[in-house]
Chain A
Amino acid sequence: MSAPLLLTVRDVHAGYDDLTVLRGLSLEVRAGEFVALVGPNGAGKSTLLKALAGLLPVTSGEINLDGERIDGLPPYAIAARGLTLIPEGRRLFGPLSVRENLELGAFLPKAHARREETLRTILRLFPILQDKHSAPARLLSGGEQQMLALARGLMARPRLLCLDDPFLGLARSVTDRFCQAVHAITSEGITILAAGQHVRRLLRLATRAYLLEAGQVALTGPGPALLEDPRLSQTLLELGTGAWQRPA
């Protein structure tokens, strides 16, 4: 008995103007899973997340969220269907206050209706955001900004939370608190698809993981098992030398 499929990606090609990064990528995420995406730079982790959120056009293939086709929809329509992307590099609204950034996270009507409740849970887990609630986001330290970006993503109460390099610059204790926050906010657990450089940390957390290589899935399995697979270190060592830098 497995949980229902939440996200299916079938044979997707996508990329930038003159550079196809995803070359027939297929994967699926079931409700309640924590799925990790690992792979060398340029393998397509960020590109996939951007394509899911509607920031990059899908040239062929299909993306379905809970049975509804979402490729081709604009980002706000995808967000309204319950897919929230926390892009890499924090991406806060710098001049706006911490509180305003959090409120913007819960802008959609469903999240807005429950924003006080969500906010209480989040502030209990990240008390620093309470202390600095009226400070402009750009004045926070790097780690605090990362916490705020994660908290803003949780404010949306998404069905699928996509994280691009979420733990960059975060202490392990903060990572743990983030996972607690996720579990606290919904008893059934928000489904997470996370890409990142912290391969060990991600794979330990993940219920399942995909190793991407050259825009396709090279390997899949439970997180810890993937960590033991010799092909993982082989791929990361061979291709992680900078020759495959992702386009800026």
Chain B
Amino acid sequence: MRSGLAALLGMGVLAAVPPALGFHPYYLFLLSTAFLLAAVASAWNLLAYAGPISFGHAAFFGLGAYGAALASLGGLSPWGAIALGGLAGAAGAAGVGLLSIRLRGAYLALGTLACAELLRGLALIWSEVTGGGAGLAGIPALPVLPWLPRVLTEGRAGAYYLALALLGAALGLFALIRRSRVGLAFAALREEEERASLLGLRPLPWTLLAFALSGLVTALCGGLYAHVVRVVEPDLVFSRHYSILPLVMATFGGLHTLLGPAAAAIALYLLSELVLHPLLPALHQVGYALALIAVILYLPGGLAGLRRGGRRAHP
């Protein structure tokens, strides 16, 4: 309950940022990217809540980006295209879940990573559809919603608020699931699948549902990204970043917590781009690695574990 209030408060503060920054385009773009990463980290965390630790969320981000880009270029309205990209990501994620249903631990990690790399390769070579290495350009911009005040939709502010809304939706979905019967099933399967099946829970449909929901949110982020950047390339949207960063951020912030992954994503990304990048242009990614190592060694519950009284060995 308290983390729900904190989330609403945080959203309110973030909504007030663009006017405070004088709608500076660079910072707004940086922040909207941070929100998209936070939403992906939250979606990754939703899957982890049901058990599977994925190394392949780039697959779902890329599916969403390419799906939305193709639909948009094909004449569908950008909103419909993003929704379609989301569905493509959900279906793809369910497929990955089905393929890796018998895999656990490191094998599951490798399996999901392989799926993401496979899709990146496919996007590279299937040039008639995907444009190959050059990707797809000329994706239409998001239309301005006439019923909103212009100041909220113009320039980078539109992308900023949309990314923030998507983050809010991702957090809302996670909060809803965690309190529901679905969340109970996810937690039981995560803790001990055999025990859960003795209580009548069939693992397959629940696991596929977790994959599909996580893939849906991740792909919606990909679709929005495609319409903000207005170009998709295999190495851009199927980048391993989207597989590894959510894992780092969610672990850093606190696995299975509501706000930890998103808060850590925003903090780590801004730290990396605003502080480390100017200092160490070639090596700024090292910050993510160091953050992950520090959390694994010293804070097994992530930053959220601090609030619950420090070190808490994770089961």
* A residues whose Cβ falls under 8 Å from a Cβ of B: 53, 55, 74-77, 79-80, 84-85, 87, 91, 93-96, 100, 103-105, 107-108, 112, 152, 156
- Chain A residues near B184 (CB-CB < 8 A): 96, 100, 103-104, 107
B199 lies within 8 A of A55 (CB): no
- Chain B residues near A79 (CB-CB < 8 A): 197-200
- Chain A residues near B192 (CB-CB < 8 A): 91, 93
B191 lies within 8 A of A156 (CB): no
Q: For window 182-198 of chain B, which residues contact chain A by CB distance below 8 Å? A: 184-185, 187-188, 191-192, 194-198
Indicate whether A95 sits within 8 Å of B200 (C-beta atoms), given known contacts A100-B184, A103-B184, A107-B185: no
B278 contacts partner chain A, Cβ-Cβ < 8 Å: no
A138 to B227, CA, bound (A): 48
Q: Which residue of B lies closest to A77 (CB)?
A: B202
- Chain B residues near A55 (CB-CB < 8 A): 194, 198
B196 lies within 8 A of A104 (CB): yes
Q: How far is the CB of B85 from chain A (nearest CB, A)?
A: 34
A108 lies within 8 A of B315 (CB): no
A112 to B195, CA, bound (A): 18
Q: Which residue of B lies closest to A92 (CB)?
A: B195
A93 to B185, CA, bound (A): 11
A107 lies within 8 A of B187 (CB): no
Indicate whether A75 sits within 8 Å of B315 (C-beta atoms), given known contacts A93-B187, A100-B184, A105-B199: no
B198 lies within 8 A of A87 (CB): yes
B109 contacts partner chain A, Cβ-Cβ < 8 Å: no
Q: Which of A75, A85, A156 has the most CB atoms of chain B within a 10 A radius of its CB?
A: A75
- Chain B residues near A95 (CB-CB < 8 A): 187, 191, 315
- Chain B residues near A87 (CB-CB < 8 A): 195, 198
- Chain A residues near B202 (CB-CB < 8 A): 74, 76-77
- Chain B residues near A74 (CB-CB < 8 A): 197, 202
B73 contacts partner chain A, Cβ-Cβ < 8 Å: no
Identify which of A75, A80, A93 contacts B191 (C-beta below 8 A): A93
**13 interchain pairs (CB within 8 A)?**
A76-B202, A77-B202, A93-B188, A94-B191, A96-B184, A96-B187, A96-B188, A100-B184, A100-B187, A103-B184, A104-B184, A107-B181, A108-B199
Number of inter-chain CB pairs below 8 Å = 65
Q: Chain B interface secondary structure, helix, strand, loop or mixed?
A: helix
Identify which of A77, A94, A104 contacts B199 (C-beta below 8 A): A104
A121 to B191, CA, bound (A): 27
Q: For window 157-192 of chain B, which residues contact chain A by CB distance below 8 Å? A: 181, 184-185, 187-188, 191-192
- Chain B residues near A107 (CB-CB < 8 A): 181, 184-185, 188, 199-201
B199 lies within 8 A of A53 (CB): no
Q: Which residue of B lies closest to A110 (CB)?
A: B200
Q: How far is the CB of B16 from chain A (nearest CB, A)?
A: 36
A93 to B203, CA, bound (A): 16
A233 to B195, CA, bound (A): 34
- Chain A residues near B203 (CB-CB < 8 A): 76
- Chain A residues near B181 (CB-CB < 8 A): 103, 107, 112
Identify which of B187, B191, B200, B315 contacts A76 (C-beta below 8 A): B200
Q: How far is the CB of B182 from chain A (nearest CB, A)?
A: 11
A75 to B202, CA, bound (A): 9
A100 to B192, CA, bound (A): 14
A105 to B196, CA, bound (A): 9
Closest A-B pairs by Cβ, 8 of them: A79-B200, A108-B200, A75-B197, A76-B197, A76-B202, A93-B191, A80-B200, A104-B188
Seed contacts A75-B194, A105-B199, A107-B199; 15 additional CB < 8 Å A-B pairs: A55-B194, A74-B197, A76-B203, A79-B199, A79-B200, A93-B187, A94-B191, A95-B191, A104-B184, A104-B196, A104-B199, A104-B201, A107-B184, A108-B199, A156-B200
- Chain A residues near B188 (CB-CB < 8 A): 93, 96, 104, 107
A29 to B124, CA, bound (A): 64
A100 to B196, CA, bound (A): 12
A156 to B198, CA, bound (A): 11
- Chain B residues near A75 (CB-CB < 8 A): 194, 197-198
B199 lies within 8 A of A96 (CB): no
Q: Which residue of B lies closest to A108 (CB)?
A: B200
- Chain A residues near B195 (CB-CB < 8 A): 87, 91, 93
A96 lies within 8 A of B191 (CB): yes
Identify which of B185, B194, B198, B315 contacts A94 (C-beta below 8 A): B315
Q: How far is the CB of B49 from chain A (nearest CB, A)?
A: 12
A108 to B184, CA, bound (A): 13
Q: How far is the CB of B301 from chain A (nearest CB, A)?
A: 11
Q: How far is the CB of A182 from chain B (nearest CB, A)?
A: 18
A76 to B188, CA, bound (A): 13
